[in-house]
Chain A
């Protein structure tokens, strides 16, 4: 799943560690989400969305949705 977490974090000039602290996860987790190696759970995705005041689907892009729309 693609996401624009790095972009949003960069826009606010936050470090991975600062974002990780704010979300209550480790820096490795933030890094793994940003690089697409890990898709966060729904509660964590909501937390991220709330933190950046955006909707979940605005941050996380499900690449399979086009197939589902068919």
Chain B
């Protein structure tokens, strides 16, 4: 039988946390964030670049995101049925909150209220900075509320 994945292996402080599992899970995400930062810097530092090159540069983080998506799907598929259900529900909540924040920002932006960094809307890094802590917090809450007893 294949070894089951557990969400706890990605959550520090649960006693089951594994740096190796966490790194394997987050690797493409980190690459994607780095790519987004580099692409953003290069794009803004070189306004003379052609539109096609800028489009390619700005969409380049999507490639590692695709790999992360595949990795994530594999991770979810190897969770047991209870943890998979919880994770799917949690991801729906996290995605909804992310969408809501983006929608609020968009409304503020269209009315000229959002300024500074927020005036251009969210990029990959900002979205990940919202979604990841939400997912981590949600996973902790779920762990505390459902089935986290250490009873033997």
A29 B152 Cβ-Cβ under 8 A: no
Q: Are B149 and A29 in contact, with the CB atoms below 8 A?
A: no
Contact of A41 among B81, B143, B146 (CB under 8 A): B81
Q: Which of A17, A29, A31, A35 contacts B81 (CB 8 A)?
A: A29
List 24 interface pairs A-B (beta carbons < 8 Å), by A numbering: A16-B152, A24-B1, A24-B4, A24-B80, A25-B81, A26-B4, A26-B8, A26-B80, A28-B82, A28-B146, A28-B148, A29-B81, A29-B82, A29-B83, A31-B147, A31-B148, A31-B149, A32-B82, A32-B147, A37-B146, A40-B81, A40-B82, A41-B81, A44-B81
Q: How far is the CB of B10 from chain A (nearest CB, A)?
A: 13
Question: What range describes how many residues of B lie at the interface?
Answer: 10 to 19
Residue pair A32, B146 in contact (C-beta under 8 Å)? yes
Q: Which residues of A contact B (CB under 8 A)?
A: 15-17, 24-26, 28-29, 31-33, 35, 37-38, 40-41, 44
B residues in contact with A35, CB < 8 Å: 147, 149
Do B82 and A25 have beta carbons less than 8 Å apart? yes
Note all chain B residues with C-beta closer than 8 A to A28: 6, 8, 82-83, 143, 146-148
